[in-house]
Chain A
Amino acid sequence: MKEAVKGYHIFLSKSWLKWAIYIPYPIVLIGMVYILNRYLTFFQYICIGMVCGMIVAVEIMVDTYVLMGIASKNTNRLEYLKTSTKGLPLLKKVLAMDAVRRFLSITVILAGAYLVIGTDPTGTSNVTPAQCFICIVITDLLVELAFLLTRLFLNVWINLLTVYILWGIAFLEGFIILYKISLLPILLVMVLCAGVIAAGRTLILKRAGESYYDG
């Protein structure tokens, strides 16, 4: 576990990034929900939609500095890792740690948003724990889907385009709070999310393995 955390922080590389994803990132987004909810809008779905969109945008942009392009064909950015027998196992741990960190970040932020909305003294919260949870899973799913694309190419413009498109889709999550959510959709989305995470991880490791072969 310690090695996975150290390895992940090595991939985070930028010192400001290591600090930013753990402290300002969740605080700023929860703060954004607070301001939206208390001062700018009566509509809670806008608050949830905005924060989901912002999470997707931030996570994709953070990944620019972490694993962008890692699954590109003929990637040669792993040469140093490949000179060690610990290199690819370390990469596997980093991918796992990255997924865990992201899920925890999204959970903290959306749970915080849920609490902010739920403690609004002027209104009644329409957000249920089930709705909050499905937003967490759908947001994670959208981010992981984005990575299937952004990690294939070493191109910042593709990242930006993906941010624009998925921010809009994530915003629509806000409308989930207008509906009752049962267990089945939650389970389906969880399975889908796990599948996308596994597919992304498999693709990266497959490309890493292919990089041992020319042509």
Chain B
Amino acid sequence: MEIQTAIKIENLIKKYKGFKLEIPSLKIPEGFATALIGENGAGKSTLINVLAGIRLDYTGEITYFDGRQEEKAIRENVGYTGPGNYFMPYWTIDVVGKASRLLFEQFHEERYQEICQELGVDKKKTSIEKLSDGMKMKTMLAAVFARDTQMLLLDEPASPLDPLMRDKLCSMIREYIEEGNGEKSVFFSTHNIADMENVTDYAVIMAHGKIVEKGFVEDLKEKYILVKGESSEADSGKEILLGFQKNHYGYEGLCLSENLDKLAGMDIVTETPTLSQISVAVMKEFSNLAGSAK
């Protein structure tokens, strides 16, 4: 099955205050939910800001929807939510609805009100600046889901949300993709994939401004194997395993499937890893903490 590309990135470079985002090539698949995973400072927000068009100081090429649409249509069809001060501080939730109607042609105010109600956003006359981070994020999500879009770029949408709301967000993302019949995509960043794993189809793992791993979740789960072994054999496993961890009972880490034969003869148990375990192990290999962890 040929998979269409929602966003294609080529030779993207962005430099900012001692940080460099460098992505030679990335294709975000259309019709799927892609998680952009990385620790704090990995470059996730930087990448999403560039894709959302709110940062223009980069070199490289970004193609949306296989180049089928003009710039204006792209902006109309791409929804973005970000952290921090996203709305004017004195806007209220009702005013956000009115502003969205002016800013986006395919914004539905009735749907916005319905989603606000569904998400429990009830302080309609309160200024955005006085709302909690969770309420602000819910307002952003309501505003973006109330539009007819083809792609959502969500920067850390789950971070300020409670567990119940995170589950609700996953349902909303899943419904959004399903109603698109393969033409709607979601690209969201997270540093805590455990909460969003059940909605993730494709994962991109970043570290230090670079992509260190990417692929469909099912493929990644075949590529890596979670290995657990006895403490006495820890030294043997250390060199082969990613994200190696040792405790009183034994050790565990991730092993590339192709390297499993290097552990032959050792007393190990293998499991299919979760995306969270894959992400942590891969990030550990590239993180500054990797040296201290080993």
Contacts and interface: CB of A to CB of B under 8 A. Distances in A.
Interface of A: 3, 6-7, 10-11, 13-15, 65-66, 76-77, 79-87, 90, 212-215
A214 B88 contact: no
A83 B57 contact: no
B71 A86 contact: no
Contacts of A7: 102
Of the candidates B53, B86, B99, the one having the most CB atoms from chain A within 10 angstroms of its own CB is B99
Nearest to B140: A80
B154 to A, nearest CB: 12
Of the candidates A13, A15, A87, the one having the most CB atoms from chain B within 10 angstroms of its own CB is A13
A90 B63 CA distance: 27
Given A13-B90, A80-B99, A213 B55 contact: yes
B54 A82 contact: yes
Contact of B16 (A15, A84, A86, A215): A215
Contacts of A81: 103
28 contacts: A6-B98, A10-B91, A10-B95, A13-B88, A14-B90, A14-B92, A65-B90, A76-B85, A77-B87, A77-B88, A79-B54, A79-B84, A80-B103, A82-B53, A82-B54, A83-B53, A83-B79, A84-B76, A84-B104, A85-B75, A86-B103, A87-B103, A212-B55, A212-B57, A213-B55, A214-B46, A215-B16, A215-B57
Contacts of A3: 102
A10 B128 CA distance: 13
Contact of A214 (B16, B53, B80): B16
Interface string B103-114: 110000000000
Contacts of A83: 52-54, 75, 78-80, 103
A119 B241 CA distance: 93
Contacts of B85: 76-77, 79
B14 to A, nearest CB: 8
B41 to A, nearest CB: 14
Nearest to B75: A85
Contacts of A85: 71-72, 75-76
A206 to B, nearest CB: 15
Of the candidates B16, B52, B56, B79, the one having the most CB atoms from chain A within 10 angstroms of its own CB is B56
Given A13-B90, A83-B52, A83-B103, 19 more contacts: A6-B102, A10-B102, A13-B91, A13-B127, A79-B82, A79-B84, A79-B86, A80-B99, A83-B53, A83-B75, A83-B78, A84-B75, A84-B103, A86-B102, A90-B102, A212-B56, A214-B14, A214-B17, A215-B57
A25 B226 CA distance: 70
A10 B93 CA distance: 11
Interface size of B as a range: 35 or more
B86 to A, nearest CB: 5
Nearest to B87: A80
Contacts of B46: 214
Contact of B88 (A11, A213, A215): A11
Contact of A13 (B53, B57, B95): B95
Nearest to B105: A86
B248 interface: no
A86 B99 CA distance: 11
A192 to B, nearest CB: 30
A14 B80 CA distance: 25
B103 A76 contact: no
Nearest to B128: A13
Contacts of B125: 15
Nearest to A209: B56
B250 interface: no
A80 B46 CA distance: 16
A77 B88 CA distance: 5
Nearest to A90: B102
Contacts of A86: 102-104
Contacts of A77: 85, 87-89
Nearest to A154: B89
Contacts of A13: 88, 90-92, 95, 127
A214 B55 contact: yes
A21 B97 CA distance: 23
Contacts of B103: 80-81, 83-84, 86-87, 90
Contacts of B127: 13
